[in-house]
Amino acid sequence: MDAYWAMNRRDFEKAGLSRQQVIECVVGGGCINMWCALTPGEVQQSPLAVCDMSTFAVSNDDIATVPVVFPGLSDTLTLLRTHATAGVRFLWRPSMRFGEVLLFSTTSTPHSAVWLDGQPASRRVSAEIRILVVGRDGRGGIDTELP
């Protein structure tokens, strides 16, 4: 949070959000990811796959965290160890077309590009946008109940 707060502090404060409110929003599931295929035609190899959370249970022994450093930003990446994926179902959109989007929770949905056996190597182009969803009360999370 320290790295992202430093980069986005003015925008958060302009929206009337404190650092604590942003943290609570992210922890509460208020951070979504929009992943868009930008490959001309269709994605044939290395699509983005998301974990079916009904088939997934993880413990601290199942994960590893590694540093990721970009100019002006230090972050971490959490990785699943191979044994943690036994029995886990991963979902992806076959032959995803240019401009199609996957929308999912950034904080509660493990996701990764995956290699598809039997498909030839090919270039994949994509973009992702992470969005913090904040209610008027400054709390995060997405209300999934209909009126």
Render 108-135 in DSSP notation, one character per residue. Answer: T--EEE---TTS------EEEEEEE-B-
Determine what percent of the chain is predicted with pLDDT higher than 90: 33
C-alpha–C-alpha distance, residues 71 and 57, integer Å: 34
Whether pLDDT at 146 is above 80: no
C-alpha–C-alpha distance, residues 77 and 67, integer Å: 6
Q: Give me 61's structure tokens.
A: 């022994």
pTM of the model: 0.74
Which pLDDT value is given to residue 145? 47
C-alpha–C-alpha distance, residues 62 and 79, integer Å: 8
Whether pLDDT at 98 is above 90: yes
Which pLDDT value is given to residue 1? 74
Q: What is the mean pLDDT of residues 113-138?
A: 86
pLDDT confidence of 41, banded at 50, 70, 90?
very high
C-alpha–C-alpha distance, residues 80 and 93, integer Å: 21
Q: How many CA atoms lie within 13 A of 102 on its CB side?
A: 26
Which of 58-72, 102-116, 127-141 comes out lowest in average pLDDT? 127-141
Whether pLDDT at 99 is above 60: yes
Which pLDDT value is given to residue 147? 42
Look up residue 134 and give its amino acid. V
Whether pLDDT at 125 is above 90: yes
Whether pLDDT at 136 is above 80: no
Phi then psi for residue 101, to 5 deg, are -125, 140
Whether pLDDT at 110 is above 80: yes
